[in-house]
Amino acid sequence: MNKRAIAIVACLVATPAAAVEGAIMEREPCDPCKPPHQVKAARPPAPPSEGAALRAQVEAKLRAPFEAAAVDGWLTRERAAAAGLGFIAAHFDAIDARRRGAIRYEDFRQFLVARGAVLD
């Protein structure tokens, strides 16, 4: 074994398992500049959405980046790629069933629904 390999093995053996486990943060770090009485208690997480509320959240998350990249409601393949909408750019020909060269959000939505997506 060379010296480097021996050094790596020695470091691995010398590192206690407790140190590795302790490295995982289980909560937000406290702010050392604020006294404990000024730190707000963390709110419990909201219960997960279900049913129509969940589908509405999904649709909003799909629509927002589309609308941000679209011009007057129309999105081209080039704009989709430039905006980081790789899924749309990769499936653009299938989404643009009418071969207009640009799509509306409804075209994208219809493409997803045709492939099994459940949207409101």
**pLDDT tens digits for range 9-37:** 665 655 555 555 555 656 666 667 777 67
pTM of this prediction?
0.59
Can you tell me the distance from the alpha carbon of 75 to that of 10, in angstroms, rounded to the nearest whole number?
A: 57
Confirm if 79 and 70 have CB atoms less than 8 A apart.
yes
Rounded-to-integer distance, Cα 62 and Cα 109, Å: 9
Count, in order, helices (H) and strands (E) of the chain.
7, 0
With H, G, I as helix, E, B as strand and everything else as coil, classify residue 42: coil
pLDDT at 5 (0 to 100): 65
Mean pLDDT by 10 residues, the chain (120 residues): 66 56 61 70 78 88 95 96 95 96 96 87
3-state secondary structure of 103: strand
Report the 10 Å Cβ neighbour count for 109. 17
